[in-house]
Chain A
Amino acid sequence: MSDNSSNNAYWAANMRIILISLAIWALVSFGFGILLRPMLSGIPVGGTDLGFWFAQQGSILVFLAIIFFYAWRMNRLDREHGVDEE
């Protein structure tokens, strides 16, 4: 078992990664897909605009990227802090 301060540093690093990931998660869906769509209306995508694309496809692709990034990053973080499963 690793000591407490190392565990705290691990948890703080995890929280930072989670917060950044969730900021992107909200930006592409609630942001680009809904609230910021008027701002993106100048960018045409196949007969409509970028906001429509984010709402119907783009956000899903970004969600995938976030989850795989998180899994990869956390598995590395586990090893860095010596808390991975042996």
Chain B
Amino acid sequence: MDQFTINLLFVGASFALYIGIAIWARAGSTSEFYAAGRGVHPVTNGMATAADWMSAASFISMAGLIAFTGYDNSSFLMGWTGGYVLLALLLAPYLRKFGKFTVSEFIGDRFYSQTARIVAVICLIVASVTYVIGQMTGVGVAFGRFLEVSNTLGLLIGAGVVFAYAVFGGMKGVTYTQVAQYCVLITAYTIPAIFISLQLTGNPIPALGLFGEHAASGEPLLTKLDAIVTEIGFKEYTLHHADTFNMVLFTLSLMIGTAGLPHVIMRFFTVPRVADARWSAGWTLVFIALLYLTAPAVGAMARLNITEMMWPNGTNAQAVSIETIENDARYDWMSTWQKTGLLDWEDKNGDGKIQYYNDASETMQAKAAENGWAGNELTKFNRDILVLANPEIANLPGWVIGLVAAGGLAAALSTAAGLLLAISSAVSHDLIKGAINPNISEKGELLSARIAMAVAIVVATYLGLNPPGFAAQTVALAFGLAAASIFPALMMGIFSTRINNTGAVAGMLAGLVVTLLYIFLHKGWFFIPGTNSFTDAEPLLGTIKSTSFGAIGAMVNFAVAYVVAGMTKETPPAIKELVESVRIPRGAGAAHGH
């Protein structure tokens, strides 16, 4: 059986499983559609939240970004896990006690203002749509590779599948499907990592293998990696090269953003009790950590494997020849990925070999002049292909490659579905039922939810064709937006009785607008390429990249809310009582919708 058939088999079987579960658990009432009847156990909820949370960014994109940058991209690892501490300590238990369905309902009630609720809905939609764009980028890469079509066609097919899938069920279908997806994605991520760790270090646990010994050379793996990448002109993998201030801000943005993302917060509305909301955040992080502890190992080991493949006899001998790439089965992955347009090479000096090195490095330029090289010949290596190509690079059996295909799609699909659900409930429940037409029928509400999903996916697909960055970078922008708008409002709503309606609205708007402006100035207006005035290499303010601005946006939000609240009318006593009651677990009954 050829690889294409194996991939289709694995992807097809996993899809059949998810769709089967979605039909079995189809949502009947609106309450079930949004919150699964609140009967979900913390461990189950944690697993589903982990699947919901770990998207194409975590599964497909992150290890690739770490692989090609090393230590400096540790921000992704710390940022996307550290946010759960904020969520567990500062938000989850209180929002569960409050006991409504959506994030904007809390903001609307706590700040006793329909305007606050609508502003929250807008913030939520902006962040979620940006997030879906990142997912679509990943979906495009995955479908492009496994259907062996171009990235663009892969994206269009993927969009159709995501839509059909998300419309099928509501939260209940999604919760149990996501448990299945978690199992698929974690297996798919871990198995190749174990194989590769065994090959390179002899240690079956990749997280330990990363700090273990490189079996072939007897040196520590990371020492070996540092040596080989510097030999071809790249910076040491383990050292700190990036700007420290920007790295701190970026990490903080990802952390605050994690705690401000509506589709994650919504999950904590679905546990039975306040105590469970606290445990649930912990269980979620356990399931996330299983992947996140493996990811840095995947990145480092893949970087080593790729470099060694391009220099099979060491960096001082001859580079790999085109003949080998075209004929040796171990290099088949290069031709298959070339078809997607995400990997490419060019024999610039016509010597029949592909020299892969950093042509920006001066020592390498001297070496190139000496050897007659005409620049780096591995001309394109999209970071997002690394994880998916990894089992092929390590020459693992066909079924592992098929499994990774299914895992990557599970990651992208589960998150895209969760986000579409958050967007659709924001539009139908908060915007239409909450503000525009309170008398809408249940049927009408479900219909408008589905229309909102369709619109969101069309916009995301269109923008996903020219994404503002690799999947994880686009997703990082979404986190910045969530960090700047939603998180501060929720936190102030719980921890301060002083912040009033006007303060909260002003804060959210200020945070969202400055962050969005900063992102658009660097990434182009509405992410349209070429309309940007600055780049992340030379940002507007000091060293602050657009992906790191969310932390600044959050501070603006806090500051504006505080100042405006100080100048306007005090919070009414009834709202102060509401805040007091949210802080105490006792009396957290079943949630009520309206």
Contact = CB atoms under 8 A, between A and B. Distances in A.
Contact of A55 (B71, B207, B279, B293): B71
Given A71-B275, A71-B279, A64 B223 contact: no
Given A29-B251, A46-B221, A46-B222, A67 B85 contact: yes
Interface residues of B, number: 51
B82 A37 contact: no
Majority-rule SS of B interface residues = helix
A51 to B, nearest CB: 8
A48 to B, nearest CB: 4
Interface stretch (B155-163, B340-348, B386-394, B582-590): B582-590
Contact of B77 (A2, A56, A86): A56
Which residue, A37, A48, A61, A70, has most C-beta atoms of chain B within 10 A? A48
Given A34-B251, A55-B71, A60-B293, A66 B210 contact: no
Interface stretch (B282-290, B442-450, B519-527): B282-290
B432 interface: no
A46 B221 CA distance: 8
B580 A46 contact: no
Given A7-B584, A71-B275, 15 more contacts: A1-B587, A7-B580, A10-B584, A14-B583, A22-B89, A46-B222, A47-B220, A47-B222, A48-B223, A52-B238, A56-B71, A70-B278, A71-B88, A78-B585, A85-B586
Contact of B282 (A1, A49, A67): A67
A52 B71 contact: yes
Given A22-B89, A35-B248, A11 B285 contact: no
Contacts of A46: 210-212, 220-222
Contacts of B275: 71, 74-75, 78, 84-85
B585 A29 contact: no
Contacts of B244: 34-35
Contacts of B286: 64
B574 to A, nearest CB: 16
B64 interface: no
A47 B211 contact: yes
A48 B238 contact: yes
Most chain B CB neighbours (cut-off 10 Å) among A35, A60, A75, A83: A60
Nearest to A49: B238
Q: Specify which of B74, B221, B222, B286 lies most central, judged by the most chain A CB atoms within 10 Å of its CB.
A: B74
B273 interface: yes
B240 interface: yes
Contacts of A33: 74, 78, 251
A49 B273 CA distance: 42
B274 interface: yes
Given A18-B90, A45-B211, A71-B278, A60 B289 contact: yes
Interface string B265-282: 000000001110011011
A64 to B, nearest CB: 6
Interface string B292-334: 1100100000000000000000000000000000000000000
19 contacts: A1-B586, A33-B78, A35-B244, A35-B248, A46-B220, A46-B222, A47-B222, A48-B223, A52-B238, A57-B293, A59-B78, A61-B293, A63-B84, A67-B84, A71-B88, A75-B275, A78-B585, A84-B586, A85-B585
Interface string B204-221: 000100111000000111
Q: Report which residue of A11, A25, A67, A82 has the largest number of chain B beta carbons within 10 angstroms of its beta carbon.
A: A67
Interface in B164-223: 207, 210-212, 219-223
B93 interface: yes
Nearest to B495: A15
B419 interface: no
Contacts of B84: 63, 67
Interface of A: 1-2, 7, 10-11, 14, 18, 21-22, 25, 29-30, 33-35, 37, 45-49, 52-53, 55-57, 59-61, 63-64, 66-68, 70-71, 74-75, 78, 82-86
Contacts of A64: 282, 285-286, 289
Given A61-B289, A75-B275, A47 B77 contact: no
A53 B251 contact: no
Interface in B60-94: 71, 74, 77-78, 81-82, 84-85, 88-90, 93
A56 B278 contact: no
A25 B85 contact: yes
Contacts of B78: 29, 33, 55, 59-60
Contacts of A21: 85, 89
Contact of B240 (A18, A37, A67): A37
Contact of B74 (A7, A35, A55, A75): A55
B296 A56 contact: yes
Contact of A47 (B223, B292, B585): B223
B127 to A, nearest CB: 23
B385 interface: no
A47 B584 contact: no
Contacts of A37: 240
A16 B247 CA distance: 29
A71 B207 CA distance: 27
Which 3 residue pairs of A and B lie closest in terms of their CB atoms, listed nearest first?
A46-B211, A47-B220, A47-B222
Contacts of A74: 93, 275, 278
B85 A22 contact: yes
Given A47-B221, A71-B278, A59 B588 contact: no
A75 B255 CA distance: 25
Contacts of B211: 45-48, 53
B580 A85 contact: no
- Which of A1, A10, A21, A34 neighbours the largest number of chain B CB atoms within 10 Å of its CB? A34
A60 B278 CA distance: 17
Given A11-B583, A85-B586, A68 B282 contact: yes
A79 B224 CA distance: 54
B446 to A, nearest CB: 32
